[in-house]
Amino acid sequence: MLDTFIIPLLKIVVLLNAILISVTFMVLMERKVIAWAQSRLGPMRVGPYGVLQAIVDPIKLILKEDITPVKADKMLFSLAPILSLVPALVAFAVVPFGGDELFYVADINVGLLFFLSVTSIGVYGIILAGWASNSKYPLLASLRASAQLISYEIAVTMTLVSLILTAGTLSMVGIVEAQLTDGVWYGFVQPVAFVLVLIGGLAETNRVPFDLPEAETELTGGFHTEYSGMRFSLFFLAEYANIIVISAVTAILFFGGWLRPFPNVEALAFLDLIPGWIWLFSKIFLFLYLFMWIRATLPRYRYDQLMRIGWKLLIPIALANIVVTGIVKVLV
Amino acid sequence: MAEAIAFYTLSILILGLGVAVITTPRTVHSVVFLVLNFLCVAVLYVVLRAEFLAVIQILVYAGGIVVLYLFVVMLVNLKRQPEEHQDPRRLAKIGLGLSGAMLVELAAIVVYSYSREPSSVTAPSPAFPVQGNVEQLGWLLYTDYLIPFEVASVLLLVAMVGAIILARREL
Amino acid sequence: MDSIEAYVPILLFVLVATGFALFTLIVSALVSSSKYNKVKLEPYECGIEPETDARDRYSVRYYLIAMLFVIFDVETVFMFPWAVIMDELALFGLIEMLVFIFILVLGYVYAWRKGALEWV
């Protein structure tokens, strides 16, 4: 009873709170990073250097009026944000923050596939939001967004096959342990796969340069144009939770998770004094920063360019990567 | 005991959602019920210890095929009433016939599986050189069931060609 | 680890996440302000009154993309069980998968040549 329900429940509550706090501060961080990239100061009013902005923003969103347009489908209009948020949060269930059982909610044999399938459910939030709004811009945006998501999902899923070839297991904990046994981060063994997953991750989270679903210059606010107040915040939360989980999974798959750099070099053993979860958190932080850096740097792709990159560039490279990895594995 | 409770709860949920899918007048709502239905089926697979099948159920059915349904529903935009020249009773007759055939088939399966020797059910499973659900499934698929696997790829090729030809008239 | 025990926390997570989403919606509904205004409740259309229904018919390309997605998805799913036991299957497994990928590439090339991957 205790082991099956109470302890996992405690872990889930702690994790959920950690995600929520990270998201609020991540929004602040993003505003600051982009401001600095553009030689601005960013939020400065609330608290020293605007730090308290992270606390004020959620309160503001809770107090805002939540509008349901008259022509909207009431049931689906409320269901869509929930369908968007729940998969984004549940994906964290299989993310190990350390090798010990204390640091993950569940380690299942099919962990990586579970992660992929749960994130693939998130597309319903977007389609249904657009359809339920019964408004032109959101509907167009949601169709575009869902076509984008499924196109890049293929590329990412295919790419991960070559990683699984290297690791030989689908369990997330197992993949990190395989990197320890092999003595190398798989980012160095599979650099092509890493770049593909990074590009796919940008597209799956609707980030610049693939932020077509929210292209404010042509589709006003994207699929959540009609949303306001708390239901809008849930979409917002889902988007940022997705960015964090993709950063975490990329760090685990390609950058050794909680392992220190060069896990096979004995001379660096003193680095083990730093606990594993700090290593993982720093890696996640670097990826989050990279996402923001890219947003501050790159312009947006056109929709036909985006589709061409997904179907005509990433998929052939991913397939070729599988074939090359397989051949190398048999030869070596 | 816990498994039995889980099984019957899930079965009731799956059946209930299935009924909701076919009785809801709005097509998009019924697609949503279908997604929930598929998710419950995935949980049922987990209870039956078919982990790989469970994630595939979510990845391919809930996350792929139903997205296709949703696109089609939104594409054709069923606002009109059904065509008048269609006789609803004719459809009812076909439906009755099909469900009757289904019922006979189910009964046959039940009778067959009960009449079979129980020893054959508990036959020792083949020895696997690998451990784990996905690994053992892969081993069977890529050794004993090699031909069906390669045929599946041809089937998928046909599906792809078919989809393109169907849509090409519009392109 | 027993396979089914490991899934209980995931089910709990789904319940907690759904509960959290509902809870925030309810709390917000209790504390947020609400003022009725007819114009506010109309669908957004750059300030003018909406003329037609938003749910019109859309390009068949979306159908094609979704169909190709399902096919590629199924093909990729076949590769996962192969990838985890590649060590045991060795050369035999590689040849099997090369044949499979070759047939997949045939379809892919067909789709490319027919312009199904274009978005104009």
The 8-class DSSP code of residue B57 comes to I
Per DSSP, the three-state class of A104 is coil
As a whole number, the mean pLDDT across chain B is: 84
Specify burial of residue B56 (Cβ count, 10 A radius: 0-12, 13-18, 19+): buried
Residues of chain A with pLDDT > 90: what percent? 48
**Most distant CA pair in chain B: distance in Å?**
61
Helices C61-84 and B66-76: angle between axes, nearest 10 degrees? 180
Q: How high is the pLDDT of residue B121?
A: 47
Minimum Cα–Cα distance from A157: chain B residue: B59
Nearest-angstrom CA–CA distance, B27 and C24: 29
C-alpha closest to that of A147 among A125, A127, A132? A127
Predicted confidence band of residue B85 (pLDDT cuts 50, 70, 90): low
Q: Given CA atoms A236, A240, A243, A249 in this order, what sign does their dihedral have?
A: negative
Instruction: Tell me whether residues B64 and A146 touch, CB distance under 8 A.
Output: no
ipTM: 0.90
* Residue A153, both tokens: 């999902």
Q: How high is the pLDDT of residue B90?
A: 73
Q: What is the identity of the amino acid at C99?
A: V
Nearest-angstrom CA–CA distance, B32 and B126: 40
Domains and CATH numbers, chain B: 2-75 (1.20.120.1200), 92-170 (no CATH)
Predicted confidence band of residue B86 (pLDDT cuts 50, 70, 90): low
How far is B166 from chain C, CA to nearest CA, in Å? 9
Nearest-angstrom CA–CA distance, A192 and A155: 12
DSSP string, A243-274: HHHHHHHHHHHHS-TTPPSSTT-GGGGGGGGS
Q: Which of A68-72, A118-122, B113-117 has the highest mean pLDDT?
A: A118-122
Nearest-angstrom CA–CA distance, A181 and A75: 51
Q: What is the dihedral of CA A249, A255, A258, A262, to 10 degrees?
A: 170
Q: Convert the pLDDT of each residue in B6-52 to its tens digit.
A: 899 999 999 999 999 999 888 889 999 999 999 999 999 999 888 89
* Contact partners, residue C64, CB within 8 Å, separation at least 6: B163, B164, B167, B171, C116
CA angle A62, A65, A70 (to 5 degrees): 135
Instruction: Tell me whether residues A118 and B58 touch, CB distance under 8 A.
Output: yes
Q: Convert the pLDDT of each residue in B118-135 to its tens digit.
A: 655 444 556 677 778 888
Q: How high is the pLDDT of residue B88?
A: 66
Residue to mutate among C2, C5, C56, C65, with most A CBs inside 10 A, is: C65
Q: Which chains touch A (3 or more CB pairs under 8 A)?
A: B, C
Helices A123-133 and A136-167: angle between axes, nearest 10 degrees? 170
How far is A299 from chain C, CA to nearest CA, in Å? 20
Residues of chain B with Cβ-Cβ distance to C74 below 8 Å are 60, 64, 156
Q: Convert the pLDDT of each residue in A283-329 to its tens digit.
A: 999 999 999 999 999 888 888 888 899 999 999 999 999 999 999 99
Helices and strands: H and E segment counts in chain B: 8, 0
Q: How high is the pLDDT of residue A101?
A: 80
Q: Convert the pLDDT of each residue in A85-116 to its tens digit.
A: 999 999 999 999 987 888 888 888 889 999 99
* Residue A206, both tokens: 């609707």
Of residues B28, B39, B134, nearest to A76 (C-beta):
B28
Instruction: Work out the number of other CB atoms within 10 angstroms of the CB of residue B159.
Output: 16
- Domain range C2-113, its CATH number among 3.30.360.10, 2.40.50.150, 1.20.58.1610, 1.20.1250.20: 1.20.58.1610
Q: Convert the pLDDT of each residue in A252-264 to its tens digit.
A: 999 988 888 888 8
On whether the CB atoms of residues A79 and A73 are closer than 8 A, the answer is no
Low-confidence ranges of chain C (pLDDT < 50): 1
Residues of chain B with Cβ-Cβ distance to A153 below 8 Å are 63
On whether the CB atoms of residues A213 and A147 are closer than 8 A, the answer is no
The 8-class DSSP code of residue A110 comes to T
* Contact partners, residue A93, CB within 8 Å, separation at least 6: A12, A105, A106, A114, C9, C10, C13
Q: Where are the domains of chain C?
A: 2-113
Over 90: is that where the pLDDT of A158 sits?
yes
Instruction: Tell me whether residues B67 and A108 touch, CB distance under 8 A.
Output: no
Predicted confidence band of residue A159 (pLDDT cuts 50, 70, 90): very high
Of residues C12, C21, C84, nearest to A234 (C-beta):
C21
The 8-class DSSP code of residue A168 comes to -
